[in-house]
Amino acid sequence: MKLALSSAAAPDATLAELAAAARRRGFRALELGQGEAHQMAASSDAADTALLAEHGIEQVVCRFNDLESALQWVPWRGSLCRTVIVPAGAGRCRAAAVPGVVTAIDYADPAELAAAAEATNDSAAAFAWSVWPGEHDLECAAEAVLRATAGRLQHVRLHGGGPEAVAQEGQGVGALMRQLALAGFDGTLALAPSGPRYRIVWNAWLGRRGGWGCGSKTGGRASLPTTTLEVT
């Protein structure tokens, strides 16, 4: 399992700033989201690969808002990006494949993910799980997801961790981590903020100056406290 820093933790950061922040906190992988300041695009080239390598980044996961954007994108030279994430509505399994990389279909609801995985016998189908601690019994959910995906789970995005770790008691993150370890999960596990209210503390934890404003806007899932997992 490789820990990744999600660019959602610093959506205003350039690629160089994001890589530097990841290095400071000991991350060896990045999850890059479409439409943020790092400007993930088809123009990304060998210079970007070299920049990331200089900061010790060994792997990149690219998250897109829709299948059309993913299909227009060209993976980085040097094969740093091995996995592309597209939302469940973008297509089903192999029907949503982006050439040259593993295309994982992302679900937030573990029951929906398990059902989708059980509905296909395609061993090449890949899945991703966006975990929101506090919304599900994570131990039971992880058991169901791992059993249904049978080695096809490529990426887990954990909303929380890092500077939010102290607020996660009783959220089941420890049980989730145990289940992943017992299953021999060898994909990427990305830490992302659980909402805008935590942006200032993430900014400080990553060692960045400036950037976000007050970070006081909240709503929906943003108010959920999460998780125990921290990179030191």
In a domain, 230, yes or no: no
Mean pLDDT, range 18-38, rounded to an integer: 92
Count of domains for the chain: 1
Q: Which residue range(s) make up the domain with 81?
A: 2-223
In a domain, 228, yes or no: no
Q: What is the DSSP letter of 135?
A: S
Q: Which residues contact 140 (CB under 8 A, 6 or more apart)?
A: none
pLDDT higher at 172 or 24: 24
C-alpha span between 124 and 135 (Å, rounded): 29
In a domain, 10, yes or no: yes
Q: Is the pLDDT of residue 223 over 50?
A: no
223 HSE (CA, 13 A, CB side): 3
Mean pLDDT, range 94-115, rounded to an integer: 85
Q: Is the pLDDT of residue 10 over 50?
A: yes
Q: Which structure tokens are listed for 146? A: 């791992």
pLDDT for 43 equals: 55
pLDDT digits (tens, 9 = 90+) for 109-159: 999 999 999 998 888 899 999 999 888 889 999 999 999 999 999 999 999
- Report the mean per-residue pLDDT for the chain: 82
Q: Is the pLDDT of residue 41 over 60?
A: no
Q: Is the pLDDT of residue 79 over 90?
A: no
pLDDT for 42 equals: 54
CA dihedral (174, 222, 188, 142) positive or negative: positive
In a domain, 229, yes or no: no
pLDDT digits (tens, 9 = 90+) for 44-71: 667 888 899 999 999 999 999 888 888 8
What percentage of residues in the chain have a pLDDT greater than 90?
49
What phi, psi does 54 have (nearest 5°)?
Answer: -60, -30
C-alpha span between 41 and 51 (Å, rounded): 15
Q: The whole model's pTM is what?
A: 0.84
In this structure, are residues 156 and 182 in contact, taking their beta carbons and an 8 Å threshold?
A: no
Task: Look up residue 87 and give its amino acid.
Answer: P
User: For residue 62, what are the β-bridge partners?
Assistant: 32, 84
Pairing of strands 102-107, 29-33: unpaired
pLDDT for 226 equals: 33
CATH number, domain containing residue 188: 3.20.20.150
